[in-house]
Amino acid sequence: MKSPRRGLVKWAERSAAVGAGVLLGVLLTASCQWAPASKADPGEIRVPPPPAPHASAPRRASLHSMGTFESPFVRVAEMVKPAVVNVNTRKRFEHPPIGGDVREDLLREFFPDMPQEEFDFPSSASGFVIDEEGHVITNNHVIQNAEQIDIQFVDGGQYSAEVVGVDPSTDVAVIRIVGGGPFPSVLFGNSDSVRVGDWAVAVGNPFGYLEGSVTVGVVSAKGRTDLDIMGGGPVYQNFIQTDASINFGNSGGPLVNIRGEVIGVNTAINASGQGIGFAIPINLAKEIAQELISTGKVTRAYLGVYPQALTPEIVEGKRLRATEGILVGQVMPDTPAEAAGIERGDVILSFAGIPVTGVSQFRMLVAESEIGAALPVLVERDGEEKEVRVRLVERPDVLAEAPEEEERDLWLGIEVIDPEEEPEVAGRLGVEGLSGVLVSVVERGSSAWDAGIRPGDFIREINDREIEDLDDYQEAERESRSREKPVIFLILRDGFTSYVAVEP
């Protein structure tokens, strides 16, 4: 009979051997970094699967249990890239005379490759095909003044293109590929349903040679307006803002959603490189494109007023009841606004029954209205509300440039002169013979400067008091020196009058 002690010793020995084997296996596996194989080799030791979890225990998903992991943007790129094109243009550039034959000859001796006074300037940007016939949406600034337009697809296909129509007011243009087809085209999304935080994918040809680049971000804001693009900007702005990387050369390319549908036309970037870009909503661009394809131009309605933002300073300074709407800075002669009795200084509260919330929204309301229809306009005038009816006409596309700026001092930082003292300047500014005073100097950092008054502005009124000459100006100045509320100037600039509120 075996003793209990000897049995216990043998059991301990066997346990130690098994434990050593398990420890060795663990060490070997850890040092070799083993991973599950996709297929078992002959003679492989098969580890039985773990027991099925209890019915009440939740299942845990893993990358392995989900199969091969693939970015959803792969499918987006595959859908969109075939319809995205490089838009290559050649534009005629003229540089001014260098300064005499001797100086030019000397410069050309040292710089023989210096271009002549006229030379072709190549440029490259992006666009996307919207139908099988080869119509391409891009930006107006991409093809503006182009003498030659060529198209190149990601697969290398090259074609020439011709302009169908342009709309500088939105910076949308349509060109058509000459020959070939049918062409791959994009799917349209609904930019009105886009939400801040939605995925945004920009596709295009940054820097003109990185064809078919795809960058990813989110929609970071909607309804951006008053952007200054390349020293100017479209009249009608309602941009989608995104942090999907957009660079020079991306202009005209598509901004798409996670389903590969176009939601915008990439148009502007933050040149300082802070990762912010802007796109025209596709609902607007598509509507413009359809009109350009049908008629070659865009027809908009026209009211004939110069709208201004209704700032708190203007509301306080003019003692207005309204806090929302737009201020009429000027009524153009022989326009629907003048015919309807709208006056300078009116606050437009609603247009065609729709409340007015800002300048950009107001411009869009007017532009998209029916030409010839009698539309109600609600205004505030002298503290009372009044409704007038207007019949809009087709809008003439005329834009003004901003005047040059200078600097210096006086009341509120302004110095003025009688326009008769400088008849040549008055004539050049278009104010010769008009009643008022001419701003000759504005001190940088002064109240007037901060409010936006600049040299060359022509002051017509101060606090609703008409300014005929320097005597009127000086009297208005004396009356306003003790004023605590903003001083309201009516200024004339580039043929347009507008109100400016200056904090005392």
CATH number of the domain that residue 109 is part of: 2.40.10.10
Q: 410-442 burial, b if ≥16 CB within 10 A, otherwise e?
A: ebbbbbbeebeeeeeebeebebeeeebbbbbbb
CA distance 235 to 226: 9
Q: How many domains is the chain partitioned into structurally?
A: 4
- Burial class, 177, CB count within 10 angstroms (exposed 0-12 / middle 13-18 / buried 19+): buried
Measuring CA to CA, which residue among 285, 257, 283 is closest to residue 137? Answer: 285
CA distance 463 to 481: 12
Specify whether the CB–CB gap between 48 and 168 falls below 8 A: no
Specify whether the CB–CB gap between 416 and 462 falls below 8 A: no
Specify whether the CB–CB gap between 335 and 304 falls below 8 A: yes
Which active-site residues does the annotation give?
Answer: 141, 171, 251
Measuring CA to CA, which residue among 425, 481, 416 is closest to residue 443? Answer: 416
471 part of a folded domain: yes
Do 170 and 200 reside in the same domain of the chain?
Answer: no
CATH of the domain at 359: 2.30.42.10
Do 417 and 487 reside in the same domain of the chain?
Answer: yes
Do 309 and 276 reside in the same domain of the chain?
Answer: no
Residue 280: phi and psi, rounded to 5, are: -75, 130
Chain Cα centroid distance, residue 377: 29
15 part of a folded domain: no
58 part of a folded domain: no
CA distance 150 to 87: 6
Q: Which of 264, 295, 326 is the last residue of a domain?
A: 295
- H-assigned helices in 184-281: none
202 part of a folded domain: yes
Chain Cα centroid distance, residue 499: 27
As a dihedral over the C-alpha atoms of residue 220, residue 225, residue 226, residue 230, rounded to 10 degrees, the angle is 60
CA distance 292 to 301: 16
Do 171 and 194 reside in the same domain of the chain?
Answer: no
Q: How many Cα atoms are found within 13 Å in the side-chain-facing hemisphere of 143?
A: 29
CA distance 404 to 454: 8
CA distance 103 to 494: 37
Region of residue 246 (left: phi > 0; alpha: psi -120 to 50; beta: else): beta
425 part of a folded domain: yes
Element (H, E) at 329: strand 326-331
CA distance 504 to 502: 6
Q: Which of 295, 313, 331 is the last residue of a domain?
A: 295
Rg over CA atoms, the chain = 34
Written as tens digits, the pLDDT of the chain (504 aa) is 444 444 444 444 444 444 444 333 333 333 333 333 223 333 343 434 444 444 444 444 444 444 556 788 888 989 999 999 999 888 665 544 444 444 445 445 545 554 555 545 567 888 999 999 999 999 988 888 888 899 989 888 899 999 999 998 889 999 999 988 799 999 999 999 999 999 999 998 766 556 668 888 899 998 887 676 554 567 788 889 998 877 767 788 899 999 999 999 998 776 555 678 899 999 999 999 999 999 888 888 999 998 888 888 888 888 888 888 999 988 988 899 999 999 988 999 999 999 999 888 898 899 889 999 899 999 999 889 999 999 999 887 543 333 333 333 468 888 888 877 667 667 777 787 788 888 877 887 788 888 888 888 889 998 888 888 888 888 888 888 777 788 999 988 888 888 999 887
Measuring CA to CA, which residue among 151, 166, 159, 270 is closest to residue 211? Answer: 151
CA distance 424 to 276: 45
Do 243 and 272 reside in the same domain of the chain?
Answer: yes
Beta bridge partners of 307: 328
Q: Which of 337, 359, 394 is the last residue of a domain?
A: 394
Tell me, what's the pLDDT at 230?
52
6 part of a folded domain: no
pTM of the model: 0.59
| Six token digits for residue 469 | 């000459």
Do 375 and 417 reside in the same domain of the chain?
Answer: no
56 part of a folded domain: no
Specify whether the CB–CB gap between 82 and 153 falls below 8 A: yes
Do 229 and 264 reside in the same domain of the chain?
Answer: yes
Do 89 and 125 reside in the same domain of the chain?
Answer: yes
Do 154 and 111 reside in the same domain of the chain?
Answer: yes
Domain that includes residue 331, residue range? 301-394
CB atoms under 10 Å from CB of 474, counted, come to: 14
CA distance 201 to 149: 26
4 part of a folded domain: no
DSSP string, 102-117: HHHHHHHHH-TT---S
Do 289 and 306 reside in the same domain of the chain?
Answer: no
Tell me, what's the pLDDT at 112?
53
Residue 459: phi and psi, rounded to 5, are: -85, 120
CA distance 98 to 105: 10
Do 497 and 458 reside in the same domain of the chain?
Answer: yes
DSSP-assigned letter for residue 232: B
| Six token digits for residue 50 | 């773990």
Do 114 and 155 reside in the same domain of the chain?
Answer: yes
